[in-house]
Amino acid sequence: MASSLPQPPPLPSLHFTRRSLLLTSTSTLSFPSLSSSATIPPNPTITDRVFMEFGLCPNFFLPNRTLGDTISTLCSDSTSVGRVIIGLYGNIVPLTVSNFKSLCISASNSNNPDSSSYKNTLVHKVFPGQYFLAGRQGRPEKGEVRPPRHLPRNIETVDPTAFALTHSRPGVVSLSLSENDDDDEIKFSPDYRNIEFLITTGPGPCPQLDSKNIVFGTVLEGLDVITSIASLPTYQPAERIRQFNDLAEFFGDERAQNARAIWSRPLTTVYISNCGVLEVAKPSLTPSLP
């Protein structure tokens, strides 16, 4: 006699319609949300314009200068390099732009002993093929910017969104943070502000500056002036001096940093002879520069 085994229940009929297939696929597949898409770069609209005039002064670092000599007295017969017009991105980094403009506007009050201005201050370092530095804070008699106590502290220096723009071409104007070599004693002073800036000179981009310095403007006119400054010969220490300096820094000798202050300094003094603000009738988009 054949054994009667329990039979398995019949399988349900599988019938897929086009609609059920679509519902199944959409419920199992995940699609990226709009929030995960690539971040759209900020719109670099020019909201303000300033000008800077540069000059060459052969007398500023002469040893026979007196205690009261300044750039304005020593460089009265300076040679003009030219004028540069800079467009500023006030919609992206408004505080950085506001502080920069303030130090250009106050040029008209530079005869005031308490005034802070970029006028009559040095371009203190030039790195050929990359950028130059200007606007260092310090002592006016040394060609540095008087501590601008009236300026608010720049909280954009700790805002990641302020570092979105890159140093992609010649003529980029940037707030110098990573390249700033001021002493810690100066930086920790309650009067210290981030005002030192750099301008890229080309011929190519400077990606090593990206995400470390705040791009807040671009050169609109006078890129040839920037190129002329970049071509100035600078002081470059011998390899033996560099090695000795590295050793001194390793042992904590503070004189090592003081010695490096003159490295890459132009052998001919170049300075900002005048600066100011230009009125903008209507904001415009940044032009493409070479």
> Residue 73 has what pLDDT?
77
| Paired residues of 275 in beta bridges | 52
Residue in the block written with tokens 């300096």? 245
- Tell me the whole-structure pTM to 2 decimals: 0.78
Q: Is the dihedral of CA 120, 226, 157, 99 positive or negative?
A: positive
> Residue 288 has what pLDDT?
42
> Residue 256 has what pLDDT?
73
> Residue 187 has what pLDDT?
78
| Paired residues of 215 in beta bridges | 174
> Residue 65 has what pLDDT?
66
> Residue 164 has what pLDDT?
94
> Residue 152 has what pLDDT?
92
The burial class, CB within 10 Å (0-12 / 13-18 / 19+), for 283 is: middle
b/e burial code for range 101-122 (CB count within 10 A of at least 16 → b): bbbbebbeebeeeebbbbbbbb
Q: Tell me which residues of the chain have a pLDDT lower than 50.
A: 1, 12-38, 287-290
